[in-house]
Amino acid sequence: MLMTGDQYIESLRKLKTRVYLFGEKIDNWVDHPMIRPSINCVAVTYDLAHEPQYQDLMTAESELIGERVNRFGHIHKDTEDLKKKVKMQRLLGQKTASCFQRCVGMDAFNAEFSTTYEMDKKYGTEYHKRFVEFLKQVQKEDWTVDGAMTDPKGDRGLSPSQQRDPDLFLRVTERRPDGIVVRGAKAHQTGCINSHWHLIMPTISMKEEDKDYAVSFACPSDVEGLYMIYGRQSCDTRKLEKGADIDLGNRQFGGQEALVVFDDVFIPNEYVFMDGETEFAGVLVERFAGYHRQSYGGCKVGVGDVIIGASALIADYNGVSKASHIKDKLIEMTHLNETLYCCGLACSTEGYPTEAGNYQIDMLLANVCKLNVTRLPYDIVHLAEEIAGGIMVTMPSEQDFRSKMVVGRSGETIGDIVNKYLAGSPLATTENRMRVLRFLENICLGASAVGYRTESLHGAGSPQAQRIMIARQGNIESKKQLAKDIAGIKE
């Protein structure tokens, strides 16, 4: 069943998810002003699946259940699926100018599908069978699933089993005939509170002594022993201000991250997909990271489209749109943004089938894609800030703009003065100029920057992680041989 956005939101109300924010338990987290924009963002992924013009991108035919499903729950069956994924992500970035949060689960599904198949082939386990049954549930119910990989990690110079506190990497603390008990946490989890289920993966390659940490499983968001502590974002308390609108920048949509804590959570065997197979921990991590690095060639590009549009708009409102340096900046922003899109499509086009039958992206190109994403969005934001001007971060508040307090000699209110002195080109009212400036502040520096600028750097692994993978897959030795052959060098 393909849910609508409203049905999705109502389905969250049925969960007993434990959420904490500012040191307090939030009972009605679905309607909390700081959380609701991120829920609205996910709801768009449901609503667009019902619109005929977007159906080819937003949905796919499932070979598992023989029905049309939301693409976020789909297993890629060819390179067209890989490309449509990137195009879908660009579309959603354009519609929300934020993080729509379902990509991590989709990428985890596809990494798990091939890795569990290969584990079963080697060890005679039933992980793949279990995972496929779980995925069928996901597709039939149209669940949002949080793919959770990142552990707190503690001392980065030590392996999981060497940590002073063993809980700094999520681990198995007890094995029972009917399942396992896990303890630990997953950090900076995108969309976790807004998810029906969680799909947990190890965060790094493991050695034999780290066996208890090589674990992958699924569990519902409201399982006993699981709770979440909501993450702060810049300017987030503006959402708590009475009547806040202009100052929010992006009032309707937003991203979400939280610390997800597992306090001795029991996981039945049917939802365990790895338990101690250390040699496959790294395989799962690399495959998930590859898929997720491909994702950034779509989602960040869609948000980039909106930033370029807002930058062009404020140039109009500032009366400088005809200046040659403004035109050059917009051209450069477009060039950078489309470069990211090219990378996302390239690693998709060069995809190949796994043993399990689903399609994997080209790993080298996916890592090139993400390494570009760690740089180019910063350049795009830099140019946007140049075009907008310093008023983007020094502007008086919406409360000042609305104020009726008389302060001027001729009876002018604070609102009158703000309206007068923040005016720009006759093309726009002062209010509309303020709106686009606040939007750019939000996306370049505020809450949405978490889902664009900062996440571009650290999401799916920091730049060094991509450099390591590029070094592994760049095949320097073969390139040296090419040079020897042409230069006539024989050794």
Active site residues: 99, 103, 190, 257, 292, 296, 299, 455
Whether 404 contacts 422, CB under 8 Å: no
Count of Cβ atoms closer than 10 Å to residue 192 Cβ = 27
For residues 151 and 260, give the distance between their C-alpha atoms in angstroms, rounded to a whole number. Answer: 10
> Are 231 and 188 in contact, with CB atoms under 8 Å apart?
yes
CA dihedral 111, 114, 115, 116 (to 10 degrees): 110
Which among 285, 282, 344 is positioned nearest to 86, based on CA atoms?
344
Q: How far apart are CA 380 and CA 127, in angstroms?
A: 43
Query: What does the angle CA 185 – CA 189 – CA 191 come to, to the nearest 5 degrees?
Result: 135
Residues 6+ apart with CB under 8 A from 5: 40, 43, 44, 46, 47
281 and 274 Cβ atoms separated by less than 8 Å: yes
